[in-house]
Amino acid sequence: MSLYDRVFDHVLVRMDAERAHHLTYDALRAGGPVLSRLPVTGGAPVRAMGLTFPNRLGLAPGFDKNARVYDRMGAFGFGHVEIGTVTALAQPGNPRPRLFRLPEDRAIVNRMGFNNDGAPAVAARLGRKHAQNRRGRGDRNHQTQPRLILGINIGKSKVVPDDDQAAVEADYETSARLLAPHADYLVVNVSSPNTPGLRNLQAVERLAPLLRQVRRTADEVTVATVPLLVKIAPDLSDDDVLAVADMALDLGLAGIIATNTTISREGLRTPAAKVTEIGAGGLSGAPLTERSTEVLRLLRGRVGPDLTLIGVGGISTPEQACERVAAGADLVQAYSGLIYGGPMWPRQILQGLS
């Protein structure tokens, strides 16, 4: 058992989960400079969406909602980081407690509710970070490895009614206009269960015009085309998954991310009374493995070899990462796996992927 495992099992699991998350966040941020001195082995550069990723492994949104530490996460082995979810309006999220661990299932339940600083603040922060990084590089052209890729995940502000299509499109347009200039790729999130009505936007007749609006807006504010993806829920029926795949091809999207958290509680080892006490929220971690892999296989079978698919949900081991790639993923992402696995976990996954 590693030092991290002992700390997690005897300290972190006894704390409020959100406080423990912030402590883990601070520890990982502080450990980045130390780990940066160690070579990252395993994995290989991957071309996807016209971009060169240092490797297949990425950090899923939720860890760095506000773009504070994403640029330090390459030291842990991640080839890309997806920040967010960011909304046009700053919002505090849902009342606490809103984050819960299920150690028996290596899972997390969250009903955070898109708590974030808002698109204007995040865009300003990204602008400052990019300027600092350019100054830090100076005129040196010494990079021999592909740089860390930044994805930005945008969602709907809670106060915007989900049944007002024009207002929804305007809300996402605001985020896209501010954030697309800073993104290597952009993700439209319509699949979180924690913003009321958000998942209604997954219906193709509503999703297609929303994606067209985001695409138009991103093109207006960028010189090069920023790849646009959509993130879907594991709770969609197979027919709806295939409908999203057809829509992605029709619209010329760069890719699909499968999958977000689930509202299902089937098959959990955690006692039912505890699950009931926790209440609503999106379940992430190991229980998603089977369904997320199924959705990925469905998508790849429908879209063919060219559309980029990012597999996320329930990746805890190198074997599961390899299985996701075998099912059709060009890239994989994780979040709960890092929380349970600790700072050396990404390197273990990369060794397996190599």
Contact criterion met (CB below 8 Å) for 111 and 94: yes
Residue 2 clears pLDDT 80, i.e. is over it? no
The bridge status of strand 255-258 relative to strand 308-312 is parallel
Q: Name the DSSP class of 255.
A: E
Question: What pLDDT shows up at residue 210?
Answer: 98
Residue 120 clears pLDDT 50, i.e. is over it? yes
Which residue among the candidates 192, 284, 292, 316 is catalytic per the annotation?
192
Cα–Cα nearest to 298, from 272, 328, 263:
328
SS3 of 49, please? coil
Domains of the chain in start order, with CATH, are 3-135+145-353 (3.20.20.70)
Bigger pLDDT: 12 vs 212: 212
Low-confidence winner among 24-33, 253-262, 297-306 (lowest mean pLDDT): 24-33
Per-residue pLDDT reduced to its tens digit, 326-341: 999 999 999 999 989 9
- Distance, CA of 284 to CA of 102 (rounded, Å): 10
- Could you tell me the pLDDT band of residue 14, with boundaries at 50, 70 and 90? confident
- Could you tell me the pLDDT band of residue 138, with boundaries at 50, 70 and 90? low
- Could you tell me the pLDDT band of residue 23, with boundaries at 50, 70 and 90? confident
Quote the percentage of the chain above a pLDDT of 70.
Answer: 94
- Could you tell me the pLDDT band of residue 134, with boundaries at 50, 70 and 90? confident
Contact criterion met (CB below 8 Å) for 61 and 85: yes
Question: What pLDDT shows up at residue 39?
Answer: 72
Binding residues for FMN: 61-65, 85, 153, 189, 231, 259, 285, 314, 335-336
Question: What pLDDT shows up at residue 137?
Answer: 60
Query: Helix H segments across the chain?
Result: 3-10, 17-35, 119-137, 165-179, 204-221, 238-251, 272-278, 289-303, 318-326, 336-341, 345-353
- Could you tell me the pLDDT band of residue 143, with boundaries at 50, 70 and 90? low
Per-residue pLDDT reduced to its tens digit, 75-107: 899 999 999 999 999 999 999 999 999 999 999
Q: Rounded mean pLDDT of 117-121?
A: 98
Average pLDDT, the chain: 92
Q: Rounded mean pLDDT of 119-133?
A: 94
Question: What pLDDT shows up at residue 320?
Answer: 98
Residue 316 clears pLDDT 60, i.e. is over it? yes
Question: What pLDDT shows up at residue 18?
Answer: 87
Those residues with Cβ within 8 angstroms of residue 63's Cβ, 6 or more apart along the chain or in another chain: 25, 335, 338
- Annotated catalytic, 192? yes
Residue 205 clears pLDDT 70, i.e. is over it? yes
- Could you tell me the pLDDT band of residue 237, with boundaries at 50, 70 and 90? very high
Question: What pLDDT shows up at residue 139?
Answer: 44
**Bond into 222 cis (ω within 30):** no
Quote the percentage of the chain above a pLDDT of 90.
Answer: 81
Binding residues: 61-65, 85, 110-114, 153, 189, 194, 231, 259-261, 285, 314, 335-336
Per-residue pLDDT reduced to its tens digit, 25-36: 777 677 666 766
